[in-house]
Amino acid sequence: MLAENSKAPDFTLKNAAEQDVRLSDFAGKQNVVLYFYPKDLTPGCTVEALAFSALGKDFEQAQTKVLGISMDSCEKHQKFIEKKELTVELLSDPEGKVCELYGVFKEKSMYGKTFMGIERSTFVIDKEGVIRKVYRKVNPAGHAEKVLEFVKKGL
């Protein structure tokens, strides 16, 4: 399990436009908020994506890039972005490799059934690639605002 003040594992994933996005590309330039979420176009995930999108300019002013990651396809991300008019960048991790790397692919339960899925989690990474804050079992309501507040305080 990744902890605060540890080095963030580098990765390369495709965004909705099927372009490669590499975490290390932001090193020395921008902080990064990596938020992992279960599924496009579901209620909680929509709330979270809309909030991060609405605060996009504020994160930009704080020199911070917001990246959402789920196991949905690039095509599904594109539909999510278009349908909800999102401005946040979404990355596709179809095999769950980055989810595993960050320890967010876990056993979950719903209606008495257990299954493997993404635990809603957020990692705030500074310009040096160090994880400065970890949020686990995130409640989407008000979460983007809390993350922005943390980022504005300075990493």
Q: pLDDT, tens digit, for every residue of 51-89?
A: 999 999 999 999 999 999 999 999 999 999 999 999 999
| Single pTM value for the model | 0.95
Query: Residue 26: which domain range?
Result: 12-139
Residue 99 is assigned to a structural domain of this protein: yes
- Distances, alpha carbon 50 to alpha carbons 5, 10, 27, 135, in Å: 29, 26, 26, 18
User: Are the beta carbons of 40 and 72 closer than 8 angstroms?
Assistant: yes
Q: Is 74 a catalytic residue?
A: no
Residue 2 is assigned to a structural domain of this protein: no
pLDDT digits (tens, 9 = 90+) for 8-35: 999 999 999 999 999 999 999 999 999 9
Report the helix count and the strand count for the chain, using DSSP H and E. 5, 9
**Those residues with Cβ within 8 angstroms of residue 149's Cβ, 6 or more apart along the chain or in another chain:** none
Structural domains of the chain, count? 1
Q: Which member of 13, 16, 23, 45 is catalytic?
A: 45
CATH of the domain at 51: 3.40.30.10
Asked whether residue 110 carries a pLDDT value surpassing 80, the answer given is no
Residue 121: strand, helix, or coil? strand
Give the number of other Cβ atoms within 10 Å of residue 154's Cβ. Answer: 9
